[in-house]
Amino acid sequence: MRQAGRALPEYRALREGIAMLDSCFRPDLVTEITLQPVRRFGVDAAIFFSDIVVPLKAVGVDLDIVPGIGPVVAKPFRTAADLPALLDGLPEVTEAVGLLTKELGDTPLIGFAGAPFTLASYLVEGGPSKDQRNTKALMYGDPELWSRLMERLADITLAFLRVQVDAGASAIQLFDSWVGALPAEDYRRFVQPHSARILAGVSDVPRIHFGVGTGELLHDMGAAGADVVGVDFRVPLTDAVKRIGPGKAVQGNLDPTVVFAPWEVVAQQVDRVLEQARAAEGHVFNLGHGVLPETDPDVLTRIVARVHEASAR
């Protein structure tokens, strides 16, 4: 996210020759980048600055984040010999979380990790994919190898989240960017048990489970064990609450592109989300999959203020 009046650390890192993925292993940069939205916008919680593929990089997978493309894996996963190693601690993350909790005080820090299906997708496809063809070919064609891969990735993700929680994170978010490519039956068979094991392993803190394009999976994602189910902007929160069922809060779900409309329109859309969220047992307001880089930060400031004002009534 761009902010007025100062150069963001990720841009400074680029000028210093530090790649984006490498900055995720720099506790000073992780701390500063995580804190900036809290300082600038007065949000209610901080999200730990990381990337979905950080744990894979940490266990030795040869990958990088290529500008304009995303994570790219040098040698895509094909056989059991390509199974990544287990994660055995990550002192850089422990240090960063420690620094953050001191700076944040009473403001909660939300830990972050990518879910096994999305990690598997990057490993198998070698990078972002629109149709997940190689991933699905492995999943359907060799379910035993798929299960071994998902079990290993679940181990890695759980270890990564435990590092954050044990260091002081107040909650976690398990993020599944690509799982919306699956029908519900396949999700339940090939994915849900592995995500459920991760969520069970961090049951000592509130757990958020978020996916993209997962309108048909909302009930099953909630059943995996999260306390809060993320809903992207494609599904109205009133519908999402019915699909998820009782006992869960929801997170969502302003379309990130709405912020480019005139303020009157933005305000109406914010109010619409808040009104729909009244049907839920709890609600975390956010902008869909994330904030687009071209977003005017002043609009975000006004959105946060409007949500706070409405919540105080």
Contact of 220 with 240, CB cutoff 8 Å? no
Candidates 22, 44, 51, 186; catalytic one: 51
Candidates 2, 26, 234, 243; catalytic one: 2
Catalytic annotation present for 122 = yes
**Which token pair is 37?**
């939205």
Strands 63-66 and 70-73: antiparallel
Q: Is 126 exposed, middle or buried (0-12, 13-18, 19+ CB in 10 A)?
A: middle
Contact of 176 with 134, CB cutoff 8 Å? no
Catalytic annotation present for 62 = no
Q: Which residues of 1-19 are buried (b: 16+ CB within 10 A; e: fewer)?
A: beeeeeeebbeebeeeebe
Q: Of 264, 222, 258, whose CA–CA distance to 242 is shortest?
A: 222
Catalytic annotation present for 162 = no
Candidates 122, 152, 155, 232; catalytic one: 122
Q: What angle do CA 258, 48, 159 make, to 5 degrees?
A: 130
Residue 209 neighbours by CB distance under 10 Å: 28
Candidates 6, 78, 148, 278; catalytic one: 6
Q: What angle do CA 49, 55, 57 make, to 5 degrees?
A: 105
Tell me the C-alpha to C-alpha distance, in Å, between residue 278 and each of 39, 90, 256.
28, 40, 21
User: Residues with catalytic annotation?
Assistant: 2, 6, 15, 51, 122
